[in-house]
Amino acid sequence: METIDAIEFYWRPGCPFCMMLERSLGAANVPMSKRNIWDDPDAAAYVRSVAEGNETVPTIRVGGWSAVNPSADEVLQAMKAEAPHLLAQG
């Protein structure tokens, strides 16, 4: 299994849901690799692949887990299962 050093946070400018989730995860010291789907065609394609063809953000990937518009608690639970070493950084 590949070791990851941050969750992947797919977002776009002006998205209030992205801003709220980013703030919550930042408060929990979650390391994030942010990918703007408007600037990154590969990121947009990934989001479409997990969001039924839509570019719905925020979309989060933690190892083998992905979710569209998850709560901060859902992301933290996924981190416990997929990347518990990232929780220790906080």
- pLDDT for 4-34, tens place per residue? 899 999 999 999 999 999 999 999 999 999 9
Q: Looking at residues 41-50, what average pLDDT do you find? A: 98
> Would 3 be classed as within a structural domain?
no
Residue 14 lies in a domain: no
20 inside domain: no
Q: Could you give the number of structural domains in the chain?
A: 1
- Tokens representing residue 29 in the block: 């010291």
> Which residues does residue 68 pair with via DSSP β-bridges, in sequence order?
59
The rounded mean pLDDT for the chain is: 94
Q: Is residue 15 part of a domain?
A: no
- Domain assignment present for 68: yes
Q: Is residue 45 part of a domain?
A: yes
Domain that holds residue 88: 30-90
pLDDT tier at 90 (50, 70, 90 boundaries)?
very low
**Biggest CA pair distance of the chain:** 35
* Rounded percentage of the chain residues whose pLDDT exceeds 70: 94
| Position 42 in a domain | yes
Q: Is residue 67 part of a domain?
A: yes
pLDDT at residue 87, rounded to an integer: 87
Could you tell me if 68 and 12 are in contact, meaning their C-beta atoms sit under 8 angstroms apart? Answer: no
